[in-house]
Amino acid sequence: MSSTPDKPLVILRAAPHPTDRIFTPDALTRLHDRFTVIEPDSEAALDDALPDAFAVVGQPELPAERLARAGKLRAVLNVEGNFYPHVDYDSCFERGIHLLNCGPAYAQAVAEYALGLALDLARGISREDRAFRAGRERYVYEGNADAVLLQGSDIGLIGFGQLGRALHPLLAAFRPTLRVYDPWLPPAVLREQGLVPATLDETLTRSWFVFVLATVTDESRHLLGERELDLLPDGARLMLISRAPVVDFPALLARVAEGRLLAGIDVWPEEPVAADDPARGLEGLVLSAHRAGGIPEAFWTIGDMVVDDLTLIARGLPPARMQVAARELVGRYRNRPVS
């Protein structure tokens, strides 16, 4: 299979996804109409294709020596929502190779899920459903002693990247005071959007609902430790959405166990969680198995984004849908691929 000037060569390796999870038949048709697509079944086949490649879709290893052989390469498109250390990013930046990930494909799904967890914790939805199934349901106000509104409440966001931006309009409908802690953003960026820039301590001290949306870097590991968790008001609800290492897990679980905090947890230090992990029995938790982003509509968006951005780049335009790597940040992330 050879590419033509009209149909540049795209190397596709969708792993860890099967191809048809992230490409609808329609997206696949569009991809093949516009590009010569090769899905190499070995490292050797990949190496053979590189010199002619316009773009790589997926996350094969791309060290400097491989990139050196890919003289026509214009873009590397990761099919997960992170930048992992499998690419020699410096070479790419020097050569102006676009580095993209599909994080935005998940943002809406994550935002809706995060709001769902917050409403569950605000009102005890899953807790009271369990009680109902056990014949212990409490009618009307009996089960509502700790129920609170989101409307007009104080809400904190730890981190304001693409997840925060997707969550913001959903929360705005509740007219909250939205405090945001994000050390990578100047306050004016937040103020222009009607948000209140705040320190971490202020955000924690004054928020009834806290969404943890920060990515993992060396600085954000255990950003929420014992001291920080103790700043939260009694009865606060914490939604842990982004990455487990941002929080001191034993400290969080201890505070949930003693009834001081309620928490919705979607990401865990080890996945799968141990069978005998005591978190499984905590009444103050909503337990979730890394499910916030990975829904069918999000996966299909990945393929659609990939085709759209490849098309723009082939037309000599900048990509418009996927997340663009920032030179300063790409080396800082400490996320691990989902296995």
**Which residues, numbered 87-116, are part of the site for a second copy (CB under 8 A)?**
93-94, 96, 108-109, 112-113, 115-116
Taking CB under 8 A as the rule, does residue 85 contact a second copy? Answer: no
Beta carbon nearer to a second copy, 185 or 257? 185
What mask, x for binding a second copy by CB under 8 A, covers residues 156 to 195? -------------xx-xxxx--------xxx-xx----x-
**Which element (helix H / strand E) includes 324?**
strand 323-324
* DSSP line for 261-305: -EEEE---SSSSPPTT-GGGG-TTEEE--S-SS--HHHHHHHHHH
Beta carbon nearer to a second copy, 123 or 206? 123
Taking CB under 8 A as the rule, does residue 200 contact a second copy? Answer: no
CB 16 to a second copy: min, Å? 10
Taking CB under 8 A as the rule, does residue 333 contact a second copy? Answer: no
Question: What long-range pairs does 244-250 form, CB within 8 A, spacing at least 24?
Answer: 244/268, 244/269, 245/216, 245/220, 245/221, 245/269, 245/334, 246/158, 246/212, 246/214, 246/216, 246/220, 246/221, 246/222, 247/212, 247/222, 247/223, 248/222, 248/224
Taking CB under 8 A as the rule, does residue 69 contact a second copy? Answer: no
What mask, x for binding a second copy by CB under 8 A, covers residues 222 to 261? ----------------------------------------
# residues near a second copy by CB under 8 A: 84
Taking CB under 8 A as the rule, does residue 336 contact a second copy? Answer: no
- Residue 163: what are its φ and ψ, rounded to 5°? -65, -45
Taking CB under 8 A as the rule, does residue 125 contact a second copy? Answer: yes
Beta carbon nearer to a second copy, 34 or 47? 34
CB 223 to a second copy: min, Å? 17
Taking CB under 8 A as the rule, does residue 19 contact a second copy? Answer: no
- Of 43, 61, 137, 226, the one binding a second copy (CB under 8 A) is 137
Give the interface segment with a second copy, choosing from 59-67, 126-134, 223-231, 232-240 (CB under 8 A).
126-134
Taking CB under 8 A as the rule, does residue 40 contact a second copy? Answer: no
By C-alpha distance, which of 50, 52, 36, 41 is closest to 15?
41
CA distances from residue 271 to 242, 243, 267, 268, 290 in whole angstroms, order as listed: 14, 12, 8, 6, 9
- Residue 263: what are its φ and ψ, rounded to 5°? -145, 145
Handedness of CA 328, 291, 278, 132 (dihedral sign): positive
